[in-house]
């Protein structure tokens, strides 16, 4: 059974969905969630699910070996589920094709620094896009740049608000993200 560590910065609804999914399979288990935001709602969700959730600082993440040493010891796969910091190259180098991110748009459009969460959906609305979607991809040392594993589209109506677009995107995330993670793990066996 592979060990997954999830990184999340905010609400953590994807983290919750992934934790629940892997409680029902023998492929992997989510052992911890790590968050850079000690006030994030993901802590409450983890408490309910009895999954360990730990806070870490930028210094621990980027300037010391604390986090990378823990990951090397305790993780086979790292999942970014609404995680907003760039992953330092010492971590991406140590986990080639083992770090997977979900992005709430069809990359390479609407990616890069500052393009996260509602910022993405607002930009999509402003540009009057007729479709959006999700991108699940491997993580390298640049924002939203690693090889794409999976994309799925959803259509947007002219009267959809950014919040409605976010809802449609989240729906796709919940359906596909855990399955794609499991598929990657099984294909690596």
- The residue number with the shortest CB distance to ligand GAR is 82
Q: How far is the CB of 166 from ligand GAR (least distance, A)?
A: 7
Report the interface residues with ligand GAR, using CB under 6 A: 8, 10-14, 81-82, 102-104, 116-117, 120, 169-170, 173
User: Is the Cβ–Cβ distance between 94 and 73 less than 8 Å?
Assistant: no
Task: Indicate the residue among 52 and 69 with the shorter CB distance to ligand GAR.
Answer: 52
Task: Indicate the residue among 72 and 167 with the shorter CB distance to ligand GAR.
Answer: 167
Task: Specify whether 103 is catalytic.
Answer: yes
Active-site residue, from 32, 103, 137, 176: 103
Q: How many CB atoms lie within 10 A of CB 84?
A: 14
Q: How far is the CB of 135 from ligand GAR (least distance, A)?
A: 9
CA-based nearest residue to 127, from 158, 102, 103: 158
Q: How far is the CB of 11 from ligand GAR (least distance, A)?
A: 4
Backbone angles phi, psi at 143, to 5 degrees: -65, 125
Task: Indicate the residue among 75 and 132 with the shorter CB distance to ligand GAR.
Answer: 132
Q: How far is the CB of 23 from ligand GAR (least distance, A)?
A: 17
Strand pairing category for 2-7 and 52-55? unpaired
Task: Indicate the residue among 73 and 106 with the shorter CB distance to ligand GAR.
Answer: 106
Task: Indicate the residue among 119 and 155 with the shorter CB distance to ligand GAR.
Answer: 119
CA-based nearest residue to 83, from 45, 51, 42, 52: 42
Q: Distance between CA 56 and CA 34 in Å, rounded?
A: 7
DSSP 146: S
Q: How far is the CB of 65 from ligand GAR (least distance, A)?
A: 25
CA-based nearest residue to 71, from 18, 31, 111: 31
DSSP notation for 50-94: T-EEEE--HIIIIISSHHHHHHHHH-SEEEESS--SPPPHHHHHH
Catalytic sites, residue numbers: 103
């Amino acid at each position: 059974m592979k060990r997954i560590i999830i990184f999340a910065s905010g609400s953590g609804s994807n983290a919750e969905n992934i934790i629940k999914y892997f409680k029902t399979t023998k492929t992997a288990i989510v052992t911890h969630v790590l968050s850079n935001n000690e006030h994030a709602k993901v802590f409450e969700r983890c408490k309910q699910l009895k999954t360990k959730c730990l806070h870490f600082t930028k210094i621990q993440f980027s300037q010391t070996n604390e986090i990378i040493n823990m990951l090397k010891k305790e993780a086979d796969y790292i999942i970014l589920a609404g995680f907003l910091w760039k992953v330092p190259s010492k971590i991406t180098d140590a986990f080639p094709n083992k770090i997977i991110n979900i992005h709430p748009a069809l990359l390479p459009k609407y990616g890069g620094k500052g393009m996260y969460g509602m910022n993405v959906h607002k930009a999509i609305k402003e540009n009057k896009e007729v479709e959006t979607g999700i991108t699940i991809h491997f993580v390298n040392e640049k924002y939203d740049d690693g090889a794409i594993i999976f994309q799925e589209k959803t259509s947007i109506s002219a009267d959809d608000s950014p919040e409605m677009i976010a809802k449609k995107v989240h729906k796709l995330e919940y359906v596909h993200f855990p399955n794609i993670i499991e598929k990657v793990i099984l294909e690596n066996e």
